[in-house]
Amino acid sequence: QLQLRESGPGLVKPSDTLSLTCTVSGGSISGTTYYWGWIRQPPGSGLEWIGSINFNGNTYHNPSLKSRLSITVDTSKNQFSLNLISVTAADTALYYCARHSATAMAPLDYWGQGTLITVS
Amino acid sequence: DIVMTQSPDSLAVSLGERATIHCKSSQSVLYSSNNKYYLAWYQQKPGQPPRLLIYWASTRESGVPDRFSGSGSGTDFTLTISSLQAEDVAVYHCQQYYSTPTFGQGTRLEIK
């Protein structure tokens, strides 16, 4: 059974960089057509797609975050990561990693449990 | 970006009754080359991540009970729960994946 698990600092200071990692188990990131994505959910709000990457490092970013966002993949560790620079209180959210069921133009069929990031 | 608007924001339905949630996209999410609507529905229970229920607007994900169904055309889509069960209490989200993925604001479903 595929599992995804987010790891991160919990608390980030304003103007600092948020770094999160998603570790995939029960399946390999490598050599597949799947894309792997980041989604966030501010407290009491809806879901916002952040960006996605495949094993080759091809990425798609939400245009509203693109200037601050970097998504990378480490196939040797079966992980992908998110870096968001210059964070503000508006970046406080529950951050999820998830798998697209096929390409980036596909729904998200496996999700991590999420990690809460507070910017303060 | 394609804006997804759900209605209502919250809904209370009696056990065993039908629940209907609507989702409207600001532009078409129909991909003409394969005639598929790039529209999904998710269920999110408290303290849990979203769970994929429906994709291609009407295809149930494996393991999803058949009381859940999706329909729609054009820019208007519907998620229907034919006979509400207590375990269906959740927030339901629609999502388009035709372009930069966007979600609706969510609909909270409760028991009346």
Three-state SS for A18-54 is EEEEEEEECCCCCCCCCCEEEEEECCCCCCEEEEEEC
- A63/B55 Cβ within 8 A: no
Given this model, what pLDDT does residue B17 score? 98
- B52/A47 Cβ within 8 A: no
- Closest residue of B to A41, CA-based? B49
Binding-face residues of A in 81-100 toward B, CB within 8 A: 96, 98, 100
Strand partners, A23: A5, A79
- B93/A114 Cβ within 8 A: no
Contact with chain A for residue B52, Cβ under 8 A: yes
Contact with chain A for residue B93, Cβ under 8 A: yes
Least CB-CB distance to B49: which of A63, A105, A112?
A112
Given this model, what pLDDT does residue A31 score? 73
Span B53-102, pLDDT tens digits: 999 999 999 999 999 999 999 999 999 999 999 999 999 999 999 999 99
Considering just the CA atoms, what is the radius of gyration of chain B in Å?
13
- The ranges of chain A with pLDDT < 70 are none
Given this model, what pLDDT does residue A103 score? 83
d(CA A70, CA A96): 16
Least CB-CB distance to B103: which of A47, A105, A112?
A47
Given this model, what pLDDT does residue A22 score? 98
Given this model, what pLDDT does residue A120 score? 96
d(CA B6, CA B39): 13
Q: Tell which residue, B13, B22, B16, has the closest CA to residue B80.
A: B22
Given this model, what pLDDT does residue B76 score? 98
Given this model, what pLDDT does residue A7 score? 97
- B95/A107 Cβ within 8 A: yes
Span B2-61, pLDDT tens digits: 999 999 999 999 999 999 999 999 999 999 999 999 999 999 999 999 999 999 999 999
Residues of B in Cβ contact (< 8 Å) with A48: 103
